[in-house]
Chain A
Amino acid sequence: MTLYGKGLRSLSIATAVVLTGAFLLIAFYAPEDADQGIIQKIFYIHVAMAIVALCGFTAGGVMGFMHLRTHDRRWDLRSYVAIHLSLILAVGVLLTGAVWAKGSWGSWWVWDEPMLVSFLIVFLLYATYQPLRFSIEDPERQSRYASVFAVVAGAFVPINFAAVRMADSFIHPRTLGTTTGGMPGEMMLTFLVTLVGVALLFVTLWKYEMAAKHARGQVKALRRRITGERASVVGGRSAAPQVHV
């Protein structure tokens, strides 16, 4: 039996350091935007969370694909944790996006901002992931169907972004676009540091969650060994994949 938390301590410290550094850079180093003012600083965390959440959804799809190929339940657990965390980040993206829209364009919701609209659609799709898991009782089938969902939804994300982007009138700043010249160096540096920080945060939380799920599975296995089959009744409401050690 091994614990899953290898390297968690150094990873946590690195995340804390980089994220603190990113916040300091956002607060003191990055220049204030000429026409948007202080509200523009929400952009760093907003876009960083958006990119990490999208990568998390895609990673969840790839892990679901691995589960379908290998029939290894651990891939389903990885996919589940990645999608779960990305969903939480997506809520953050929607909230910060709404605040930013209110601050710089004067309304909480702007339909011609493709990032926000795409995120809403992606969020609505992934919000059905948990209900889907909950409504399938057989654990083996639940993992399989959840992985199919993860693969299909992973393919949906880029198509959805392309289609919504085509339909809008380009009010949204193209962060990494090449046509508009991009942003000044200080802003770029701050943004990249924030992006690394949020990505580290995602990986750290993912590993913590995996470690917790594994520890729970091990505790359950040990308890079962002591008390016999009686203890195998699962308490609580969760659709998370169970770990069998």
Chain B
Amino acid sequence: MRSTVAAILRKDLRLELRTFEAIPSMTLFSLTTFVLFHFGLNETSVEGDLAAGVLWVTLLFAAILGLNRLFVAEEEQGGFDGFLLAPVDRTAMFVAKATGLFLFLALVELVAVPAFTILLLGPSPWAILPELILVLALGNAGIAVVGTLVAGIAVRTRARDLIGPLITLPLLVPVILAASQATAPLLAEGGAQALPGRWVAVLGIYDLIFGLVAYGVFDFLLED
């Protein structure tokens, strides 16, 4: 199982390194969205609830961009058939793809979050960096787990670019809700407040439950 996951993950990362398809476009999309928010909200700087909302909605839409492409190579180049012919655990595909999406999101945030603090954020985020990274990691995990599962469903449908986001967005409402609530006090004007533990707990529980559900049902998507 572990070697299968590593093989798929290595394949995806190499593909990304050679084509530079997903991560640069997701990053560019985030930067453009920050600019759009500047003009749409007509604010030179944001803080608190507004900052958390702008950050998370932008990251969510960037993630949607990535998960639309997540299984396209497998579907179009016959990767699914090759994978099914190999004598390996099918859940490995889910674990590898979810890990890959998590890594992609982390790399995007490596650029997008600093850009956000420069372009839009009022208060300095240095003091709360560890907490922010924790919330980002938990939010990414939720997006990666649910996004991978839905991308696996959507890639085999006729209207995959439509169906994927349509199912993903309502499923991720609790993630955006909890992540924004957890991030808002960190980005508050006039000094960060404490990280609200119960929203971190909600994120953790969501990740755990949907991780288990997706792990359990993903096999059925690869049955033919």
Contact = CB atoms under 8 A, between A and B. Distances in A.
Nearest to B170: A125
Interface residues of A, number: 31
B149 A141 contact: no
Contacts, number: 85
A92 B130 CA distance: 46
Contacts of A162: 202
- Residue picked from B149, B171, B177, B181, most chain A C-beta under 10 Å: B171
B181 A145 contact: no
B223 A144 contact: yes
Contacts of B163: 128, 131-132, 135
Interface string B191-208: 000000011001001100
Contact of B217 (A124, A148, A167): A148
B143 to A, nearest CB: 14
A155 B202 contact: no
B217 A163 contact: no
Contact of A137 (B158, B205, B221, B223): B158
A226 interface: no
Secondary structure dominating the interface of A: helix
A234 interface: no
A183 interface: no
B199 to A, nearest CB: 8
B202 A166 contact: yes
A151 B150 CA distance: 12
A166 B217 contact: no
Nearest to B219: A68
B174 interface: yes
A222 interface: no
B153 to A, nearest CB: 5
A145 B170 contact: no
A165 B199 CA distance: 12
B173 A147 contact: no
